[in-house]
């Protein structure tokens, strides 16, 4: 060990390439902040919500490495692999862009490793993305299995107190929903297909698994559904055992096919899935109709509780499932069809839960994954700027995206709780004096904290703190899993409507 009192040799001057890259990054940051200005001075997080490093906090890269090692070394992963993943995650958290060059610049700024030149760190990141041990199928199951018992501790306690404890899926306990799992896809430019599965949480998604494959190449027969099924079984193994039978899957029309629903049934999960309009429905009198004919136009709703007009003496029993998917030999499912005013087409949903208007609110939660994709793309790490990656290299980069997203949410929660406490203080003083309500055309504007997502707050926390010397307070026990989206929750607390 060198003597701590020895003089530190001066660092070599930065090359012209490094100076130009730093100038470009500063210009991009100024443009981003002009479009999305930082909020007012962040509120002090409450002590009960902060579960982070001791004061003084260690550097961000050291904290990430310790966290990764604690999760992976017990599973037999080597320390060099932990260091590579920690470099990737720390670079994403402290940087503006999620490209390999952006990660390298942020890691060099943090002082990760012993490299004296940024190109050395860039070469290390390039080698990192060629490491098959960083594939999401190898790392994310072990990381999520170690993390989810803490993240879902509140849901596990709710399971223990749920009403009714009948065996299997009978009674209220069998229909109790613990977590909502969203399945959806996105693309990287027009070259790579990305499948993501994650937990819905307050208007965003906690990603748990990803898969990638070429978008312009036909997959072998059944390969797609094999990949989807493998990922779903992988996610089920990550969940705490008490919650594995209490999952509600939300998915769009691409997954509204019998193959997908059979996979979900094999896992013992409930689902609310949108289907195509030509899907056939059969009534007890033997008549068949396409689901798109159940709602005549905007403003109409059909839940199966009111029998369709028919001359036959038989009618559908209230609350009974009906056969759907004629070509697949029929599946007994509940159906909800709704056509909202102002929409071009209706929502046609099939579900294993009772067909009530509440299923519409369940399916609406699926939109949360679009917020995650925005945070990975144009409103965050700029995934689209990664140039011509192969699907395996993109998958390894996305492994870092998934883990870094967990950290963004953990850093956002203390700030979010402080905002909720501040919004609740005026409500605690009692109802405000009567004011003239606006017309329905002009709904009341949301409070200021509601205008940013939790992922945006997490990014701002890391941008405002010197990651080279500090780690922000973190909350790894996620609260309020049954809360609405963050924006709605802020409005409810602000107006004193939260329970």
pLDDT band, residue 314 (cuts 50/70/90): very low
Domain membership of residue 226 (yes or no) is yes
Same domain, 119 and 246: no
Instruction: Return the higher-pLDDT residue of 160 and 348.
Output: 348
pLDDT digits (tens, 9 = 90+) for 25-66: 777 666 655 544 433 333 333 333 334 444 457 899 999 999
The answer to whether the beta carbons of residues 405 and 455 sit under 8 Å apart is: yes
Domain membership of residue 241 (yes or no) is yes
Average pLDDT in the 356-368 region? 94
Could you tell me the CATH number of the domain that includes residue 231? 3.90.350.10
Among 31-45, 65-79, 95-109, 425-439, whose mean pLDDT is lowest? 31-45
Give the pLDDT of residue 27. 75
Domain membership of residue 314 (yes or no) is yes
Quote the pTM value.
0.83
pLDDT value at 315 more than 60 = no
Same domain, 192 and 335: yes
- The residue among 311, 343, 374 that closes a domain is 374
Domain membership of residue 4 (yes or no) is no
Same domain, 410 and 368: no
Same domain, 213 and 287: yes
Domain of residue 302 covers 162-374
Same domain, 185 and 329: yes
Structure tokens at 349: 């949903």
Give the pLDDT of residue 190. 81
Same domain, 135 and 283: no
pLDDT value at 178 more than 50 = yes
Domain membership of residue 411 (yes or no) is yes
Domain membership of residue 240 (yes or no) is yes
Same domain, 275 and 414: no
- Give the C-alpha separation, 229 to 180, whole Å: 17
Same domain, 82 and 94: yes
Same domain, 264 and 394: no
Domain membership of residue 10 (yes or no) is no
- The residue among 374, 400, 431 that closes a domain is 374
pLDDT band, residue 312 (cuts 50/70/90): very low
Query: How many domains is the chain built from?
Result: 2
Domain membership of residue 486 (yes or no) is no
Contacts 24+ apart (CB under 8 A), 230-235: 231/195, 231/197, 232/183, 232/197, 232/263, 232/264, 232/267, 233/267, 234/137, 234/141, 234/209, 235/144, 235/181, 235/197, 235/208, 235/209
- The residue among 374, 409, 439 that closes a domain is 374
Same domain, 154 and 258: no
Same domain, 142 and 186: no
Same domain, 175 and 136: no
Instruction: Return the higher-pLDDT residue of 101 and 35.
Output: 101
């Amino acid at each position: 060990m060198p003597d701590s009192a020895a003089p530190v040799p001066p660092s070599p001057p930065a090359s012209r390439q490094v100076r130009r890259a730093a100038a470009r990054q500063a210009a991009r940051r100024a443009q981003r902040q002009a479009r999305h200005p930082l909020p007012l001075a962040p509120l002090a997080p409450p002590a009960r919500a902060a579960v982070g490093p001791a004061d003084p906090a260690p550097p961000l890269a050291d904290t990430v490495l310790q966290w990764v090692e604690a999760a992976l070394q017990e599973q037999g992963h080597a320390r060099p692999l932990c260091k590579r993943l920690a470099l990737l995650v720390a670079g994403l958290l402290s940087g503006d862009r999620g490209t390999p060059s952006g990660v390298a610049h942020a890691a060099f700024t943090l002082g990760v490793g012993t490299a004296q030149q940024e190109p050395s760190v860039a070469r290390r990141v390039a080698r990192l993305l060629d490491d098959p041990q960083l594939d999401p199928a190898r790392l994310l199951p072990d990381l999520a299995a170690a993390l989810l018992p803490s993240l879902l501790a509140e849901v596990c306690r709710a399971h223990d107190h749920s009403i009714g404890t009948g065996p299997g899926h009978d009674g209220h306990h069998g229909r109790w929903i613990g977590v909502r799992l969203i399945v959806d896809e996105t693309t990287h430019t027009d070259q790579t297909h990305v499948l993501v599965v994650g937990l819905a949480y307050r208007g965003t998604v906690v990603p748990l698994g990803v898969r990638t494959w070429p978008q312009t190449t036909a997959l072998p027969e059944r390969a797609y559904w094999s990949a989807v099924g493998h990922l779903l079984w992988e996610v089920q193994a990550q969940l705490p055992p008490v919650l594995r039978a209490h999952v509600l899957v939300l998915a769009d029309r691409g997954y509204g096919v019998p193959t997908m629903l059979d996979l979900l049934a094999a896992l013992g999960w409930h689902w609310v899935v949108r289907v195509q309009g030509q899907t056939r429905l059969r009534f007890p009198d033997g008549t068949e109709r396409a689901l798109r004919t159940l709602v005549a136009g905007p403003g109409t709703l059909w839940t199966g509780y009111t029998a369709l007009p028919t001359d036959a003496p038989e009618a559908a029993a209230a609350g009974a499932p009906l056969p759907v998917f004629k070509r697949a030999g029929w599946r007994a499912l509940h159906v909800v069809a709704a056509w909202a005013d102002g929409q071009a087409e209706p929502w046609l949903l099939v579900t294993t839960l009772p067909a009530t208007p509440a299923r519409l609110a369940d399916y609406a939660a699926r939109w949360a994954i679009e917020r995650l994709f925005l945070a990975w793309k144009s409103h965050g790490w700029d995934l689209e700027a990664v140039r011509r990656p192969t699907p395996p290299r993109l998958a390894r980069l996305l492994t870092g995206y998934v883990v870094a997203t967990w950290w963004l949410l953990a850093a956002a929660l203390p700030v979010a709780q402080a905002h909720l406490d501040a919004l609740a203080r005026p409500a605690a003083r009692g109802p405000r004096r009567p004011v003239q309500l606006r017309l329905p055309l002009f709904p009341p504007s949301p409070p200021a904290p509601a205008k940013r997502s939790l992922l945006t707050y997490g990014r701002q926390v890391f941008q405002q703190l010197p990651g080279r010397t500090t780690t922000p307070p973190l909350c790894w026990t996620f609260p309020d899993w049954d809360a609405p989206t963050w924006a709605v929750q802020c409005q409810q607390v602000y107006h004193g409507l939260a329970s």
